[in-house]
Amino acid sequence: GAVVSQHPSWVICKSGTSVKIECRSLDFQATTMFWYRQFPKQSLMLMATSNEGSKATYEQGVEKDKFLINHASLTLSTLTVTSAHPEDSSFYICSAALGGADTQYFGPGTRLTVL
Amino acid sequence: QQPVQSPQAVILREGEDAVINCSSSKALYSVHWYRQKHGEAPVFLMILLKGGEQKGHDKISASFNEKKQQSSLYLTASQLSYSGTYFCGTEIGGRQLTFGSGTQLTVLP
């Protein structure tokens, strides 16, 4: 149980384009989903907390207009990187928390490369 | 505030033991331990909620000190599959986790 999927696994795009990443909880309903970014050999940095049906809460320094988050249902959250630039290239990972529980289950991650 | 993890890296032979520490300057609501292999997402190992708690599974266990500011992960009789980067994630409330910088564990045959 507690499986989280992400799509796509990897994406390569040109500078200036937008990329959408989907995060799905497959076998449970997630009232809260989290989006992280991880640069090579570094720790996971929380970007935003997404609650179903409400606006995401962004961490300090994360541009909400650049990283659009939508949590339309209890099983799906999306992250759209708008007008991507090479410095946005990173490993993006989502996690989902079971309602009322503390454990976060991570998706397999999406590797974004912006040329 | 990011928790401090130590050591940064450790190399072991199969069958040897290791301890990874995670410290915070503030009392924590919970500590979460994850293992991440290269190019993959972190895999949940365990969560500790109570001061003085110890728990484990197979040969991996963890403790949370009474003041809830320090946790240790114990790997006993390490196996090749234990190799990876271990992260502690700390929670001070609100369900958001702040992750330490990671400990790279390499188990050699």
The confidence band for A99, taking pLDDT boundaries of 50, 70 and 90, is low
Question: Would you call B47 and A103 a contact, using CB atoms and an 8 Å cutoff?
Answer: yes
Burial environment of residue A59 by CB neighbours within 10 A (0 to 12, 13 to 18, 19 or more):
middle
> What letter represents residue A95's amino acid?
S
Q: Locate tokens 């450790």: which residue? A: B10
Examine the pLDDT at A100 and tell me if it is beyond 60. no
Q: Locate tokens 């795009």: which residue? A: A13
Question: Which residues lie closer than 8 Å to A30 by C-beta, 6 or more apart?
Answer: A4, A52, A74, A75, A77, A96, A97, A98, A99
What pLDDT score does B1 carry? 82
Q: How far apart are CA B12 and CA A98, in angstroms?
A: 35
Q: Choose between B105 and A41: higher pLDDT.
A: B105
Q: With b meaning 16 or more CB within 10 Å and e meaning fewer, what string describes B19-43?
A: ebbbbbeeebebbbbbbbeeeebbe
What pLDDT score does A53 carry? 80
Contact present, B88 and B71 (Cβ < 8 Å): yes
B38 near A CB under 8 A: no
What pLDDT score does B17 carry? 97
Q: Tens of pLDDT along A39-48? A: 988 999 999 9
> What letter represents residue A78's amino acid?
T
Name every chain B residue with its beta carbon within 8 A of the beta carbon of A97. Answer: 95
Question: Would you call A105 and B44 a contact, using CB atoms and an 8 Å cutoff?
Answer: yes
Name every chain B residue with its beta carbon within 8 A of the beta carbon of A102. Answer: 30, 32, 47, 49, 91, 95
Q: In this structure, what token pair is assigned to residue B79? A: 């196996």
Mean pLDDT of chain B: 93
Q: Which of A89-93, B55-59, B94-98 has the lowest average pLDDT? A: B94-98
What proportion of chain B, given as a percentage, has pLDDT over 70? 100
What pLDDT score does B51 carry? 86
Name every chain B residue with its beta carbon within 8 A of the beta carbon of A42. Answer: 101-102
Q: Cα distance from B107 to chain A (closest Cα, Å)?
A: 18
Q: Locate tokens 């997402």: which residue? A: B41
What pLDDT score does B52 carry? 86
Mean pLDDT of chain A: 91
Q: Tens of pLDDT along B37-58? A: 988 889 999 999 888 889 888 8
Question: Would you call A46 and B30 a contact, using CB atoms and an 8 Å cutoff?
Answer: no
Question: Would you call A43 and B2 a contact, using CB atoms and an 8 Å cutoff?
Answer: yes
Q: How far apart are CA B65 and CA B23, in angstroms?
A: 10
Examine the pLDDT at B94 and tell me if it is beyond 80. no
Contact present, B33 and B100 (Cβ < 8 Å): no
The confidence band for A101, taking pLDDT boundaries of 50, 70 and 90, is low
Of A106, A107, A87, the closest CA to residue A39 belongs to A87
A106 near B CB under 8 A: yes
Which residue is closest to B94 within chain A, CA to CA? A102
Burial environment of residue B76 by CB neighbours within 10 A (0 to 12, 13 to 18, 19 or more):
middle
**Test mutation, B29, B96, B103, B104, chain A, max A CBs within 10 A:** B96
What pLDDT score does A27 carry? 87
Question: B101: left (phi > 0), else alpha (psi -120 to 50), else beta?
Answer: alpha
B91 near A CB under 8 A: yes
Average pLDDT over residues A62-69: 95
Q: How far apart are CA A15 and CA A82, in angstroms?
A: 10
Examine the pLDDT at B109 and tell me if it is beyond 80. yes
